[in-house]
């Protein structure tokens, strides 16, 4: 089952989201790469790399803002492991909800990425 990696500035935000997703799809494997030491706010490459080392299948990364995205892309470029990891730049909460459900239905990484892109990136911005 496709794993989800949640990259956020806030560990509380990411673990809260993980709880929310586990309620929808109890079997989903979610890794949190969020915050800094001592509960500080921020993102860093090493936490994302640690999450990469713990995935059990192909995985999808979702991020909150700015540096979370840059650090995720950086970590992805440095990744040399055996799984396919994809990053898709969609809203964290909504995107991970859809991804969790699709993963629970047994969809593969490419299908999930395509679905997320269609849902969140192909529409015109309304704001």
Would strands 30-34 and 59-63 be described as parallel, antiparallel, or unpaired? Answer: unpaired
Helical packing angle, 92-104 and 109-116, nearest 10°: 140
**Is the Cβ of residue 20 or residue 70 nearer to another protein in the bound state?**
70
**Which of 1, 16, 67, 120 lies at the binding interface for another protein (CB under 8 A)?**
67
User: Quick one: which of 66, 81, 114, 121 contacts another protein (CB under 8 A)?
Assistant: 66
How many of the other CB atoms lie within 10 Å of CB of 17?
24
Q: Which is catalytic among the residues 3, 6, 8, 9?
A: 9
Q: Which is nearer to another protein, 19 or 77 (CB)?
A: 77
Q: Check binding of 42 to another protein (CB under 8 A).
A: yes
Q: Between vectors from CA 9 to CA 5 and to CA 15, what angle results, nearest 5°? A: 55
Least distance (Å) from another protein to the CB of residue 20?
25
**Residue 9 appears among annotated catalytic residues:** yes
Instruction: Report the Cα 74 to chain-centroid distance in Å.
Output: 14
The CA distance from 82 to 14, in Å, is: 25
From candidates 1, 73, 101, 119, binder to another protein by CB under 8 A:
73
| Number of residues assigned to the chain | 127
Residues with a known catalytic role? 9
Contact residues for another protein, defined by CB under 8 A:
36, 41-46, 65-67, 70-71, 73-74, 78
């Amino acid at each position: 089952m496709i794993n989800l990696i949640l990259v956020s500035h806030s560990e509380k935000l990411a673990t809260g989201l993980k709880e929310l997703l586990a309620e929808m799809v109890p079997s989903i494997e979610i890794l949190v790469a969020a915050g800094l030491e001592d509960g500080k706010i921020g993102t860093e490459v090493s936490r994302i790399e640690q999450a990469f080392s713990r995935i059990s299948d192909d995985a999808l990364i979702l991020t909150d803002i700015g540096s979370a995205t840059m650090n995720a892309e950086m970590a992805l470029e440095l990744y040399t492991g055996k799984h396919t990891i994809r990053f898709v730049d969609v809203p964290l909460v909504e995107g991970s909800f859809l991804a969790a459900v699709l993963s629970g239905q047994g969809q593969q990484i490419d299908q999930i990425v395509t679905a997320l892109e269609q849902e969140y990136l192909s529409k015109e911005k309304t704001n």
